[in-house]
């Protein structure tokens, strides 16, 4: 099965600011932000009080009342996005061999929101050590083990091939799609429904990020709270969302006349083996992942037209990855636009990697690079071209997108237009 190449033929995005690819792209291309004061619960006791929340009603997006009741919010996102991506691809799943269709989903924190809510009930507000089983909802096992999200998506799209969740913290959204690419390349599947979903905006998540001061304490101006690469940045803004793709082997996509968004040309992941939450400032491991992804793509640093950064807006991340871009791309890093859409849609943990893949695909589709919102005065140690405030028309045939997360995981993916001028391709 060597030589099999993998393309994206369908996608759907649920991001703060709106459900659907069109709303997502208009937010990004207009440089608007979707961060706001938290409304899901009373944020008063918390250090960080802003988030990028979605306005989402599962039933309005086609879920049955029973589906909406049993599924965690992140699972609801995933099912809605998966159905949307399949519809977008034009694939008639009924006419496919379900054994050759698989599902991978990424999620960093699974059903955290439901677990938080249900714990509160069964413990009677934290009073009971021996929590009361007579108050559990019957489907709570599906919250305990978040591979239930994958089951829901497989049922929704009719997949009976390889199915799994990839849960590598904040790189889950890249790693899940990368995993699906590997399954198609090796011949395990012909079609993969792949993406990631997280809905972490709940008190327990806010509390633990408060404790390590990872999220921003800024409260005065929620729309300006997420400030990657800006000298005044002081933490990320928690978000939520989901993106799901339909991936196909390139030749079979061509045969059915599918619209092809892009090829997933290269993917790699490495670990920093350093610290569960800390980063070494030289960015060596992310640089290694980038080099490996370029190798797999058979592309040179100079082929990269745009870097979709992790850009979380923590002090150490933005310097870490700036160093990694320079180490891996050399001088080309200085000539390449870099931006962080987390400035607009926040950091949805395991989901954001897939949402950023979608942003990268759309940048290639429109030849427009989304901006880094709220970037007024760059950190002097972040000295690349971060596309401040305003989107930019820019010929974009190949994109590097990266992720970095707790556990030390560093992932990189290279996406390319299939009609790009080939340079030394294998």
Yes or no: say if 305 and 398 are a contact pair by the CB < 8 Å rule. yes
Q: Which of 158-166, 252-260, 332-340, 380-388 is the region at the interface with other proteins (rule: CB under 8 A)?
A: 158-166
Contacts with 4 (C-beta within 8 Å, 6 or more apart), sequence order: 184, 185, 186, 187, 249, 250, 251
The secondary structure element, H or E, covering residue 103 is strand 101-106
Minimum Å gap between C-beta 359 and other proteins is: 23
426 near other proteins, judged by CB under 8 A: no
236 near other proteins, judged by CB under 8 A: no
234 near other proteins, judged by CB under 8 A: no
380 burial (CB, 10 Å; 0-12 / 13-18 / 19+) is exposed
Which of 61, 179, 320, 347 is flagged as catalytic? 347
- Alpha helices, DSSP H only, in 45-146? 65-70, 73-89, 112-122, 141-144
The number of residues that bind other proteins (CB under 8 A) is 86
Task: Sketch the per residue contact string, 3 through 42, with other proteins: x for CB under 8 A, - otherwise.
Answer: ----------------------------------------
In the residue annotation, 320 being an active-site residue is answered as no
Q: Cα 142 to chain center, whole Å?
A: 22
Yes or no: say if 11 and 261 are a contact pair by the CB < 8 Å rule. yes
Select from 12, 53, 72, 142 the one that contacts other proteins (CB under 8 A).
Answer: 142
Yes or no: say if 196 and 172 are a contact pair by the CB < 8 Å rule. yes
Query: Please, which of residues 97-116 interact with other proteins by CB under 8 A?
Result: 98-99, 102-103, 107-110, 115-116
Q: Which of 51-59, 159-167, 300-308, 394-402 is the region at the interface with other proteins (rule: CB under 8 A)?
A: 159-167
Query: Please, which of residues 340-369 interact with other proteins by CB under 8 A?
Result: none
Which of 61, 170, 320, 382 is flagged as catalytic? 170
Minimum Å gap between C-beta 237 and other proteins is: 16
Between the alpha carbon of residue 54 and those of residues 12, 238, 241, 303, the distances in Å are: 15, 11, 7, 35
Q: Which of 29-37, 125-133, 229-237, 395-403 is the region at the interface with other proteins (rule: CB under 8 A)?
A: 125-133
Q: How many CA atoms lie within 13 A of 421 on its CB side?
A: 4
Minimum Å gap between C-beta 126 and other proteins is: 3
Q: Which is nearer to other proteins, 114 or 374 (CB)?
A: 114
Query: Please, which of residues 294-333 interact with other proteins by CB under 8 A?
Result: none
In the residue annotation, 332 being an active-site residue is answered as no
How far apart (Å, rounded) are the C-alpha atoms in residues 175 and 168?
A: 7
Between the alpha carbon of residue 375 and those of residues 228, 243, 372, the distances in Å are: 7, 25, 6
246 near other proteins, judged by CB under 8 A: no
Minimum Å gap between C-beta 64 and other proteins is: 13
How far apart (Å, rounded) are the C-alpha atoms in residues 223 and 373?
A: 10
Yes or no: say if 150 and 104 are a contact pair by the CB < 8 Å rule. yes
Query: Please, which of residues 251-280 interact with other proteins by CB under 8 A?
Result: 268-277
Yes or no: say if 224 and 36 are a contact pair by the CB < 8 Å rule. no
Query: Please, which of residues 387-416 interact with other proteins by CB under 8 A?
Result: 405-409
95 near other proteins, judged by CB under 8 A: no
What's the longest Cα–Cα distance across the chain?
65
Q: Which is nearer to other proteins, 87 or 276 (CB)?
A: 276
Minimum Å gap between C-beta 376 and other proteins is: 29
Select from 113, 214, 309, 412 the one that contacts other proteins (CB under 8 A).
Answer: 214
How far apart (Å, rounded) are the C-alpha atoms in residues 385 and 388?
A: 8
287 near other proteins, judged by CB under 8 A: no
68 near other proteins, judged by CB under 8 A: no
Query: Please, which of residues 162-191 interact with other proteins by CB under 8 A?
Result: 162-169, 172, 175, 179, 182, 186, 188
Which of 61, 179, 242, 310 is flagged as catalytic? 310
Q: Which of 84-92, 198-206, 306-314, 369-377 is the region at the interface with other proteins (rule: CB under 8 A)?
A: 198-206
Yes or no: say if 243 and 173 are a contact pair by the CB < 8 Å rule. yes
Q: What's the N-to-C CA distance of the chain in angstroms?
A: 16
In the residue annotation, 170 being an active-site residue is answered as yes
Q: How many CA atoms lie within 13 A of 95 on its CB side?
A: 5
Yes or no: say if 269 and 410 are a contact pair by the CB < 8 Å rule. yes
Catalytic site positions: 170, 310, 347
């Amino acid at each position: 099965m060597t030589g099999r190449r993998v393309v994206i033929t369908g996608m759907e995005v649920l991001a703060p600011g709106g459900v659907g690819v069109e709303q997502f792209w208009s937010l990004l291309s207009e440089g608007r932000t979707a961060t706001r004061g938290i409304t899901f619960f009373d944020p008063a006791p918390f250090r960080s009080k802003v988030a990028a929340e979605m306005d989402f009603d599962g039933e309005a997006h086609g879920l049955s009342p029973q589906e909406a009741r049993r599924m965690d919010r992140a699972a609801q996102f995933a099912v809605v996005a998966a159905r949307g991506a399949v519809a977008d691809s034009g694939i008639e799943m009924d006419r496919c061999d379900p054994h050759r269709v698989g599902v991978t989903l990424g999620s960093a924190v699974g059903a955290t929101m439901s677990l938080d809510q249900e714990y509160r009930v069964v413990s009677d507000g934290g009073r009971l050590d021996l929590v009361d089983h007579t108050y559990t909802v019957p489907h709570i096992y599906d919250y305990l083990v978040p591979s239930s999200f994958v089951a829901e998506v497989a049922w929704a799209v009719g997949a009976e091939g390889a199915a799994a969740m990839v849960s590598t913290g904040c790189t889950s959204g890249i790693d899940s799609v990368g995993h699906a690419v590997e399954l198609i390349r090796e011949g395990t599947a012909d079609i993969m429904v792949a993406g990631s979903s997280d809905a972490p905006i709940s008190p327990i998540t806010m509390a633990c990020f408060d404790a390590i001061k990872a999220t921003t304490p800024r409260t005065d101006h929620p729309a300006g709270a997420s400030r990657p690469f800006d000298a005044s940045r002081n933490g990320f803004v928690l978000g939520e969302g989901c993106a799901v793709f339909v991936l196909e082997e390139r030749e079979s996509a061509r045969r059915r006349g599918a619209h092809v968004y892009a090829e997933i040309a290269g993917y790699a992941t490495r670990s920093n083996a350093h610290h569960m939450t800390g980063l070494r400032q030289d960015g060596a491991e992310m640089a290694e992942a980038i080099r490996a992804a370029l190798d797999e793509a058979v592309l040179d640093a100079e082929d990269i037209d745009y870097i979709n950064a992790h850009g979380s807006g923590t002090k150490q991340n933005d310097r870490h990855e700036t160093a990694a871009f320079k180490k891996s791309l050399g001088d080309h890093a200085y000539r390449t636009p870099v931006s962080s859409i987390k400035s607009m849609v926040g950091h949805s943990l395991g989901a954001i990697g897939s949402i950023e893949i979608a942003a990268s695909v759309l940048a290639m589709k429109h030849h427009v690079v989304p901006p880094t919102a709220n970037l007024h005065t760059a950190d002097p140690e972040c000295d690349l071209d971060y596309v401040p405030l305003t989107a930019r028309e820019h010929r974009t045939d190949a994109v590097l997108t990266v992720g970095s997360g707790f556990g030390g995981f560093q992932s990189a993916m290279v996406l390319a237009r299939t009609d790009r001028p080939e340079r030394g391709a294998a």
